[in-house]
Amino acid sequence: QSVLTQPPSVSGAPGQRVTMSCTGSSSNIGAGYDVHWYQQLPGTAPKLLIYGNINRPSGVPDRFSGSKSGTSASLAITGLQAEDEADYYCQSYDSSLSAYVFGTGTKVTVL
């Protein structure tokens, strides 16, 4: 049972902007732990997309951006491209569970 809640799916046409939320609680995101985002293309391992709430690793396009506020975080993709079709997971740490926690995952579909 995931501690972080994400919408199951979001979709958009090429070029559009889509966003997805990651809702936690006072023992994880709300406690000040950073939120990280991973992209998982079909049949492949997850890849780090955003770290420390807002930072992009080298090589990640600036179309991807992250934000955090209170007990939630968000990932936005602007200028949606066909290659962005993937599953996206948020991740943080939960002090009550003493565990790394993942979101439920959001499937992005490019129409």
Partner 1 sequence: EVQLLESGGGFVQPGGSLRLSCAASGFTFTTYAMSWVRQAPGKGLEWVSAIRAFDSSTSYADSVKGRFTISRDNFKNTLYLQMNSLRAEDTAVYYCAKDDGDSVYLFDYWGQGSLVTVSS
List of residues contacting partner 1 (CB under 8 A): 2, 33-34, 36, 38, 40, 45-48, 51-52, 57, 87, 89, 91-93, 97-105
Work out how close the CB of 34 gets to partner 1 at its nearest, in angstroms, rounded to a whole number: 7
Cβ closer to partner 1: 19 or 87? 87
Work out how close the CB of 82 gets to partner 1 at its nearest, in angstroms, rounded to a whole number: 23
Cβ closer to partner 1: 21 or 40? 40
**Nearest Cα to 73, choosing from 32, 16, 17?**
32
Work out how close the CB of 23 gets to partner 1 at its nearest, in angstroms, rounded to a whole number: 15
Cβ closer to partner 1: 3 or 80? 3
Residue with tokens 């046409």: 13
Cβ closer to partner 1: 36 or 68? 36
Measured CA to CA, the distance from residue 107 to residue 111 in angstroms comes to 12
